[in-house]
Amino acid sequence: MKMIMGRKMGMTQLFKGNEVVPVTVIKAGPCYVVQKKTPQVDGYCAVQLGFEEMKKTNKPLEGHFKKANLKALRVLKEMRLENEEELKEYEVGQTIKVDIFQPGEFVDIIGWTKGRGFAGGVKRWGFSGGPKTHGSKFHRELGSLGQHTEPAKIFKGKKMPGHYGNERVTIHNLEVVKLDVENNLIAVKGSVPGARGGLVLIRSPKKTRK
């Protein structure tokens, strides 16, 4: 299992022979191993990774980073491991760079979609709405919501207006097209969830590509 964190830079295109490949460029790492979690102490195997150095943090986290002999880091995420054998590959304070992946390799990318605030049913769920003609007085509303006298309620899960976006989304099996180790850049084929500058996690694929 391999994982690194980064920031989405944007999309461009690269040439792969005679083929034009659309790619998303991510500035990934360097990440640091902040803590190792073991079944004996924590009940499970995991490695806690930190990303993006910052000048100052609160006192509890300051002590946490000091224990690992690291500077304060903005983002902390855990990478779950299957057993303690995999845990031996990591040491506290270790630096993880983008070269853990290679061109041609496939990865899963986790991102958070753009937040769109409070949205109605037409925008959020793609409802068709009512007639567009004058006088209908029913254009972008939901229509009937409730039931008859029995059960006299709206069932849970009904598609209604509400918060839209800012959801965690995983895109499986994206191909690594190019690496720039010096500048901590990785280009993956296709699109990645989130806005430019958004946090993304790049990890080993969990589903085998067919």
Q: What pLDDT is attached to residue 209?
A: 64
**Which letter does DSSP use for residue 100 in this model?**
G
Q: Position of tokens 């000091």? A: 66
Backbone angles phi, psi at 60, to 5 degrees: -60, -45
Cα 112–107–16 angle (5° rounding)? 110
Q: What pLDDT is attached to residue 137?
A: 86
63/69 Cα distance (integer angstroms): 10
200/210 Cα distance (integer angstroms): 24
Cα 137–142–144 angle (5° rounding)? 90
Q: What is the pTM of this model?
A: 0.80
How does pLDDT run across 88-135, given as a tens digit for each residue?
888 888 888 898 889 989 999 999 999 999 999 999 999 988 888 888
Residue 142 burial class via C-beta count within 10 angstroms: exposed 0-12, middle 13-18, buried 19 and up: middle
**Which letter does DSSP use for residue 99 in this model?**
G
Q: What pLDDT is attached to residue 129?
A: 86
Task: Please give the single-letter amino acid code of residue 109.
Answer: I
How does pLDDT run across 135-194, given as a tens digit for each residue?
888 899 888 887 788 888 888 888 999 999 999 999 999 999 999 888 999 999 999 999
Residue 98, SS3 per DSSP: helix
| Mean per-residue pLDDT, 34-61 | 87
